[in-house]
Amino acid sequence: MSEMMTKSKARNIFYGGSLFFFVIFIGLTAQSHLYVLNESSNNDQLSESVIRGKHVWEKHSCINCHTILGEGAYFAPEVGNVFVRYGGIDDPEGAKDSIKEWMKAQPTGIEGRRQMPQFNLTDEELDDLANFLEWTSKIDTQGWPPNDAG
């Protein structure tokens, strides 16, 4: 490395520059935080049931098989748009019923098929989960995923 760059110069660039980029990052995060609350996520529709549904999702660690908005494990289908995939735009109640029936029918036990465990959810938990998935499907995700397949 050239003699022009002394150690203290390199150190100062590192500390100063990192601080600079970090401040910008914090600022943009704050702006994004407000954007999510006010514009992209229907925060006003975040009902008690949706909140409980998120907890059902977490309690059974669904994310270690499925993806949600593309994040998670890659072992089972995307659920960020499962509500849409089940026809929820035209028939919301029908889509939610399908999700609940699906949950109740697991595991299939079919040889050679990936197995989803039976989580023995109560009717209320199933409703909450379905409501959470409906709410999630309405987040403005800049047009992702490209199609209903997720």
Measure the CA dihedral 89/36/43/142, to 10°.
0
C-alpha to C-alpha distance for 33 and 39, rounded to whole angstroms: 10
Please state the closest distance from residue 55 (CB atom) to another protein, in A.
8
Residues within window 4-43 making contact with another protein, judged by CB under 8 A: 5-7, 10-11, 13-14, 17-18, 21-22, 24-25, 28-29, 31-33, 35-37, 40-41, 43
Nearer Cβ to another protein, position 91 or 148?
148
As beta bridge partners, residue 78 has 67
Task: Give CA separation, 92 vs 13, 83, 109, 130, in Å.
Answer: 55, 8, 29, 10
Q: Is 59 in the site for another protein (CB under 8 A)?
A: yes
Considering only 63, 92, 100, 121, the residue that binds another protein (CB under 8 A) is 63
Task: Tell me if 139 contacts another protein by CB under 8 A.
Answer: yes
Least distance in angstroms from the C-beta of 95 to another protein: 16
88 binds another protein (CB under 8 A): no
Classified as helix, coil or strand, 145 is coil
